[in-house]
């Protein structure tokens, strides 16, 4: 069963490579709607946010490599430099959200079950997912 849980996301995000940018924007909308529906249930919202984070991270990788494959060598080099700068900003942002979590929950980790701190972990994952989503949208505009 665990293998199936891993295979489905891989197939799903690989299929994004076959779709155009408009379709991918619709995919983002669909993922956001699923995320909101999950949150609206009010049950294990931490898991909802964590799942959305991983979906956005996977989408970022797919879109980045799709865009990169459409560029000539010099533009690929430029995109790679731009991505490295963004990754540094992402790392700084993630350290900030982690630090905020740890201030409120010094004895907990947001990376496991986060028992006793699930709301704060949920907000951390949500903020990180939104940060990644903004980069996905920028790369999609470049793909057009």
Residue-level pLDDT at 115: 79
- pLDDT tens, the chain, 144 aa long: 444 454 445 445 444 444 555 668 899 999 999 999 999 999 999 999 999 999 999 999 999 999 999 999 999 999 999 999 999 999 999 999 999 999 999 999 998 877 789 999 999 999 999 999 999 999 999 998
CATH class of 44-144: mainly alpha
Residues in Cβ contact with 65 at an 8 Å cutoff, skipping those fewer than 6 apart = 17
Residue-level pLDDT at 31: 96
d(CA 12, CA 129): 18
Percentages of the chain per state (helix, strand, coil), in multiples of 5: 85, 0, 15
Domain parsing of the chain, residue ranges: 44-144
pTM for this model (two decimals) = 0.83
């Amino acid at each position: 069963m665990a293998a199936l849980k891993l295979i489905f996301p891989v197939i799903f995000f690989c299929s994004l490579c076959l779709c155009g940018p408009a379709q991918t924007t619709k995919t983002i909308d669909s993922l956001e709607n699923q995320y909101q529906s999950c949150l609206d249930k009010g049950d294990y919202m931490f898991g909802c946010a964590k799942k959305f984070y991983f979906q956005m991270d996977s989408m970022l990788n797919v879109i980045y490599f799709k865009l990169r494959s459409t560029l000539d060598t010099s533009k690929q080099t430029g995109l790679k430099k731009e991505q490295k700068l963004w990754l540094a900003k992402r790392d700084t942002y993630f350290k900030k959200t982690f630090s905020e979590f740890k201030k409120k929950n010094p004895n907990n980790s947001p990376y496991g079950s986060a028992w006793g701190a699930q709301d704060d972990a949920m907000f951390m994952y949500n903020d990180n997912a939104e940060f990644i989503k903004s980069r996905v949208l920028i790369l999609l505009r470049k793909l057009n």
